[in-house]
Amino acid sequence: MTAPLPAAARTRVAGTRVAGPCRSCGSITLEPVLDLGDMPLANSVLTGAELARPEPRHPLEVLFCPACALVQIGATVPPEEMFSDYAYFSSYSTTAVERAGALVASLVESQRLGPDSLAVEVASNDGYLLRHYVSRGVPVLGIDPAANVVAAAEAVGVPTLCRFFGPDLAEELRASGLRADVLHANNVLAHVPDVNGFASAIERVLADGGVAVVETPYVRDLVERVEFDTVYHEHVFYYSLTSLTALFERNGLQVVDVERIPIHGGSLRVSLEPGASAGPAAAAVDELLDEERRLGLARYPYYAEFGGRVAELVERLQILLRDLKSSGASIAAYGAAAKGTILLNTLGVGVETLDFVADRNPHKHGLHMPGVHVPIVPPERLAQDMPDFVLLLAWNFADEVLAQQARYRRRGGRFILPVPEPVIV
């Protein structure tokens, strides 16, 4: 028998319908997929002074819309609470920067971009992507609501508006004559509660003949690889190509190409053009839509057992960590990212088990993980302290982290990869 999830994390009985509406299509009936209970905001790392104060927690339940196939969370936290000051800096991921550079090089060539073009990125963070356009002589505009990452982008020569992107800003840009020849929206579509307004704003900002390139985590990878720790309040939505197509067509955009990419545990990269002028879609679009139909991604049974599989994985991880600790092993973790917050809080693992969490981002050093209060330290501490095991919270960058920590591994240190099943390497 599967042990229940800890008190902070539980699965709802399958078949209990939940009142809507769906944020995308407006359907009034949603189906339950997973309930992780009340969770802290995943990126709200804490100072020492904040440890004694009550932390805000919000319900974190995942639901499925049978009308448009969109998976979404139930409760919405106001974006201002999560994004006005943001602890995640994309440039500290070598993988993300390198992938961005390759994508920009491809688009500069295919779209014939030059000094008279404009590349826009929504949720542009610290300029990790747009700086590649700058180096190629293509004018850019970043848009991001977090003042701290906007300052970092400006410092590397990426002009950035400190704003939330939506219909009002799209109209302002259009009225000022700014139209995007290429628009990027990487890992932001999942974050926006008003997803129809966001999609329509993309359509308004695109120039005639322009293309939008949108990357978002793929719900199929989440389900098949039991990536429950990618569920957090910033991620309002979990997309399939089926649900993306319905959303964009509703807002005047056509999916003309799609690619599955490995970043963030498995994502979709879709290319969009304004519906009125869109060319024929690539064969990959129909092929993936057909594949999703065969697998049942547009039907509830595909998601119904997910909660039970999460409970089984949580139990296995709890047993592994408990057994290692009881044998006298020392354990740390790597990756003070959002998914780490969810994983640790779901497991109920904190300072009684982990010595620290190492992370490359210096903006997090000296702070503590939300909910469990484990201190965050520089990655050099792994080779200095030599914990016997390191729980890899940033498993989506496993190859990068394992390579960076070659010294720790050569000296006998071992990593625990938590999903899709616990593996020690």
Q: What would the mean pLDDT of 8-30 be, rounded to a whole number?
A: 66
Helix residue spans in 3-123 (DSSP H): 79-83, 94-110
pLDDT attached to residue 82: 63
Q: Count the neighbouring beta carbons within 10 Å of the beta carbon of residue 412.
A: 8
Residue of 1 and 364 predicted with greater confidence: 364
pLDDT attached to residue 74: 92
Check pLDDT > 80 for residue 4: no
Q: Count the neighbouring beta carbons within 10 Å of the beta carbon of residue 411.
A: 10
Tokens for 227, please give them.
Answer: 């990536």
**φ, ψ of residue 388 in degrees (nearest 5):** -65, -35
Q: What would the mean pLDDT of 191-219 be, rounded to a whole number?
A: 95
Q: What would the mean pLDDT of 140-169 be, rounded to a whole number?
A: 94
Q: Do domains 90-278 and 317-424 have the same CATH topology?
A: yes
pLDDT attached to residue 265: 81
Q: Cα separations (Å) of 208 from 57, 181, 227, 272, 288?
A: 44, 8, 39, 12, 27
End-to-end CA distance of the chain: 28
Q: Cα separations (Å) of 271 from 175, 177, 281?
A: 25, 23, 10
Tokens for 81, please give them.
Answer: 């609470």
Check pLDDT > 70 for residue 20: no
pLDDT attached to residue 30: 95
Which range is least confidently modeled, 149-153, 177-181, 274-278? Answer: 274-278
Q: What is the domain partition of the chain in residue ranges?
A: 90-278, 317-424
**φ, ψ of residue 50 in degrees (nearest 5):** -85, -10
d(CA 207, CA 213): 14
pLDDT attached to residue 73: 95
d(CA 45, CA 371): 9
Q: What would the mean pLDDT of 257-279 be, rounded to a whole number?
A: 89
Q: Cα separations (Å) of 161 from 131, 319, 420?
A: 15, 47, 38
The number of C-alpha atoms within 13 Å of 340 and in the hemisphere containing its C-beta is 32
- Average pLDDT for the chain: 91
Residue pair 39/342 in contact by the 8 Å Cβ criterion: yes
pLDDT attached to residue 275: 80
DSSP annotation of 190 reads G
What whole-number percentage of the chain has pLDDT above 90?
Answer: 82
Tens digit of pLDDT for each residue in 405-424?
999 999 999 999 999 999 99
Check pLDDT > 70 for residue 1: no
Tens digit of pLDDT for each residue in 30-70?
999 999 999 999 989 999 999 999 999 999 999 999 999 99
- For 67-101, the DSSP string reads TT--EEESS---HHHHHSS----GGG-HHHHHHHH
Residue of 1 and 152 predicted with greater confidence: 152
**3-class state of residue 60 by DSSP:** strand
Angle separating helix axes 241-250 and 195-205, nearest 10 degrees: 60
pLDDT attached to residue 298: 96
Parallel/antiparallel/unpaired status of strands 331-334 and 357-358: parallel
Check pLDDT > 70 for residue 252: yes
Tens digit of pLDDT for each residue in 291-308?
999 999 999 999 999 999
Contacts (Cβ under 8 Å, ≥6 apart) of 302: 223, 295, 296
Residue pair 210/39 in contact by the 8 Å Cβ criterion: no
d(CA 246, CA 189): 14
Tokens for 275, please give them.
Answer: 């519906």
Check pLDDT > 50 for residue 255: yes
The number of C-alpha atoms within 13 Å of 402 and in the hemisphere containing its C-beta is 12
CATH number given to 90-278? 3.40.50.150
pLDDT attached to residue 75: 84
Task: Tell me which residue has tokens 């990125």.
Answer: 121
State pTM to two decimals.
0.87
Tens digit of pLDDT for each residue in 68-116?
999 999 988 876 666 555 555 666 677 788 888 999 999 999 999 999 9
pLDDT attached to residue 97: 86
Tens digit of pLDDT for each residue in 306-329?
999 999 999 999 999 999 999 999
| CATH fold of the domain at 317-424 | Rossmann fold (3.40.50)
